[in-house]
């Protein structure tokens, strides 16, 4: 085996492990968003925290919109999480079939895309349902938070 051949396999394995850990991290983050119950006191949802700056009526609108999307978000998340098991199954054999792992990773990415599209639709529905003043308040609050985070 050549010197470059000795490096390729460990690098490929490290890449696959890194991708799997990234998928796990994204899955964990999305699970918090997709499965959190929406209440003004909930800490798990960025939409929840963002909506706290709104009047009660607008907070209820946010709760209604998010609640309408929650079943689909949960179903998509469960589907995506189920797809991640194929990654680990493909990695748990010797020799590892990199093409099978790559196919499993591609499937998870496709399911993540569906979940993100549902989140985007949720945000569009929020934009349609909230009055201009509420949308402006959310935009201003988001800009202030980002500026504070950039300063830290």
Mean pLDDT of the chain: 81
| H runs (alpha helix) in 36-55 | 46-51
- In tens, the pLDDT along 77-95 reads 888 888 999 999 999 999 9
Total domains, the chain? 1
pTM for this prediction: 0.64
Contact between 37 and 122 (Cβ < 8 Å): no
CA 2, CA 107: separation in Å to the nearest integer? 34
| Domain of residue 23, residue span | 3-151
């Amino acid at each position: 085996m050549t010197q470059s051949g000795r490096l390729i396999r460990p690098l490929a394995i490290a890449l696959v492990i890194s991708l799997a850990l990234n998928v796990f991290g994204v899955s964990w983050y999305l699970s918090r968003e997709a499965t959190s119950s929406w209440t003004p006191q909930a800490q798990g949802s960025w939409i929840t925290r963002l909506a706290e700056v709104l009047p009660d009526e607008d907070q209820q609108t946010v709760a209604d919109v998010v609640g309408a999307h929650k079943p689909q978000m949960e179903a998509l998340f469960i589907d995506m999480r189920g797809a991640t098991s194929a990654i680990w199954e493909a990695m748990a054999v010797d020799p590892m079939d990199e093409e099978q792992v790559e196919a499993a990773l591609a499937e998870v990415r496709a399911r993540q895309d569906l979940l993100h599209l549902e989140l985007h639709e949720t945000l569009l529905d929020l934009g349609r349902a909230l009055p201009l003043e509420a949308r402006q308040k959310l935009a201003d609050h988001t800009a202030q938070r980002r500026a504070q985070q950039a300063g830290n």
